[in-house]
Structure 1
Amino acid sequence: MRATTTLGVLLCLAFAQTPAEAAGKQVRLAYVEWSDAVAATTILQQVLEEKGYEVKAIPLAAAAMWQAVATGDADASVAAWLPLTQAAYYDKLKNRLELIGPNVTGAKIGWAVPAYSKLNSIEDLKTKSAEVDGKVIGIDPGAGVMKTSEAAIKAYGLPVKLVDGSDATMTSALKDAIRQKKDIVVTTWTPHWMFARYELKYLADPKKIFGDDETVNTLARKGLKEDMPEVYGILKKFKLTIKDEEAMMAENEEKGAKPSETAAKWIKANRATVDGWVK
């Protein structure tokens, strides 16, 4: 009787720990503090938490994000831009991590101006740089779009200066310029909330320095598939649309908004999609 009781208790404990994989396990998600990465990472974090995982979201610079996944200091990231933007990181580390694949398609990088601007091509800046005070307003210097912007300035022979900053300082400068109906050129990418907020246009890039469409990709550390097969399965299915991301990003920019609340709202409204990720 005692042996039977003990066996019963052990079986109960085993089933009480279901899903066993999630019990007591932490998932570390690396991301860059760009508005699209914040939106996507927060959604994934909440989905994994629903499955019983403890999730730690780790904000890093782009190079450090790739390095963290490659060294195993992070388990995954859903913020890897390819084939051009972060190609240097991928080429250096591709044998030390796993590229699961795209979670957003139809992405893009380049330079944008307000829709009212008479600037239509990057080439226009060769003779009209004074209209933007000889500046292209950028983000953090380690970003792929900044490195490509430096290449564009050289390739087109532009008399402009690339100004370092952050996503926040770039969008603040854009907001101020639009309020005053002034010309401005900013480094940008799609998806980004500012395309949902403002009327903007990309400058044509006849030399294709910024490439064609990009994808935002999911990375995983080596061994994650074996260590956490459920997490790996969710990562493979995790996908968002540009429209959804830009709507969430725009909402996150509202005064008092919290990315966690925006993500929870999106999950509730898209439960069928989320259920498809976790099945």
Structure 2
Amino acid sequence: MKTLWKALCAAAMVGMTMLPAHAEEKTITMGTLSWEDLTPITGITKKVLEDAGYTVKVTEFSEWGIAYAALSKGDIQVLASQTDYVAQDYWDKNKSRLEKISPVSHGLFQGLAVPKYVPINSIDELNANAEKFGGKIVGIEPGSGLMRDTTNVVKAYDLKLPLVEGSTAAMTAALKSAVDRKEWIVATVWTPSWMAQKYDVKFLTDPKGVYPPPQGYYWIGHKGFSADNPHAREVMASVYIPIDDITNMNSAVKDGKTMDQAVKDWTDSHADLIKRWENIKKS
């Protein structure tokens, strides 16, 4: 009887070792912010995951602090973010509970820009032309990373043009008005943004290197996501969207399309690439 019992236990142990270690969940909870760079990244990655067999639930947040808090607590599993610049403080504060999954785009850049017809090319040329610019730099919302860095630029270059706080909408309207009249204007601008393409502006060089270099976008996750979801992680890691394509999608939205349609147009025109992303083999 003891021999039979030992044999049965051994057989049971062998059977248990043959069971899969962990069944991967088929629902992914994804966070995003309603910004013109993050919305296309989120929409395209969502489609690729859905076509690979996952259900994707997206939660939209109003600002980074809330999004990172939700990710750190596990209320969402993944979030696209610029961990080295725009959201660096939030990443540094929470990174012990987070992980980087994969890069998904690169080229975020913020700085001072002028229309291409303005014959200057460097920040250190602004003072000599201050009156032509109406004696001011047209800014956006106070508290943004771009405004913080531009404040440092004004100090570093001892600029005679004060930085004027406002809103993105007001800055865009001022830029359009100036371009329509072929007037001089210097404003805080970033890529990817439809306005940088629509109004044919150029970034002024920054000899002192106050503005950061172009930055990357990453999919980040709640710690343990990649280990628990190896196939989803591989699918997400296959997705990469050029920054110029993000700009083009936002230009299409500005011209009247919905973001969902712009994303669909992009995925339709990259069908072969999307298929390769979707067909990542399961581990």
**Fold match (TM-score > 0.5):** yes
Match of 2:82, SS? strand
In the alignment, is residue 55 of structure 1 matched against residue 68 of structure 2?
no
Task: Report the AA paired with residue 98 of structure 1.
Answer: E
Question: Taking every aligned residue pair, what percent have the same amino acid on both sides?
Answer: 29
Structure 1 residue 224 displacement after superposition: 1.9
1:205 alignment partner in structure 2: 206
Deviations 1:180-228, CA, capped at 9 Å, x for gaps = 2222222222222223323211011011011223212222122222443
Structure 1 pair 238–57 and aligned structure 2 pair: CA distance change class (3 A): farther
2:110 alignment partner in structure 1: 109
Q: Distance in 2 between matches of 1:129 and 1:108?
A: 24
Q: Distance in 2 between matches of 1:192 and 1:41?
A: 16
Contact 2:149/2:210 (CA < 8 Å) preserved in 1? yes
Deviations 1:222-263, CA, capped at 9 Å, x for gaps = 2222443333222222211122112111111112x1000111
In the alignment, is residue 21 of structure 1 matched against residue 25 of structure 2?
yes
Structure 1 residue 82 displacement after superposition: 4.8
Contact 2:105/2:217 (CA < 8 Å) preserved in 1? yes
Structure 1 pair 69–130 and aligned structure 2 pair: CA distance change class (3 A): farther
* Number of aligned positions between the proteins: 255
Question: What does residue range 110-129 of structure 1 map to in structure 2 within 5 Å?
Answer: 110-129=111-130
Contact 1:111/1:187 (CA < 8 Å) preserved in 2? yes
Normalised to the residue count of structure 1, the TM-score between the two structures is 0.80
2:140 alignment partner in structure 1: 139
2:262 alignment partner in structure 1: 262
Q: Distance in 1 between matches of 2:135 and 2:78?
A: 40
Question: What does residue range 113-262 of structure 1 map to in structure 2 within 5 Å?
Answer: 113-159=114-160, 160-166=162-168, 168-255=169-256, 257-262=257-262
Q: Distance in 2 between matches of 1:38 and 1:125?
A: 34
Structure 1: where are the runs of 5+ without partners? 1-18
Structure 2: where are the runs of 5+ without partners? 1-22
Q: 1:30 aligns with which of 32, 39, 43?
A: 32
Q: Distance in 2 between matches of 1:184 and 1:67?
A: 39
Deviations 1:48-104, CA, capped at 9 Å, x for gaps = 3333413214132234333332333332222x2253443333322222211234211
Match of 1:35, SS? coil
Q: Distance in 2 between matches of 1:70 and 1:141?
A: 27
Structure 1 pair 139–245 and aligned structure 2 pair: CA distance change class (3 A): same
Structure 1 pair 244–93 and aligned structure 2 pair: CA distance change class (3 A): same
Match of 2:218, SS? strand
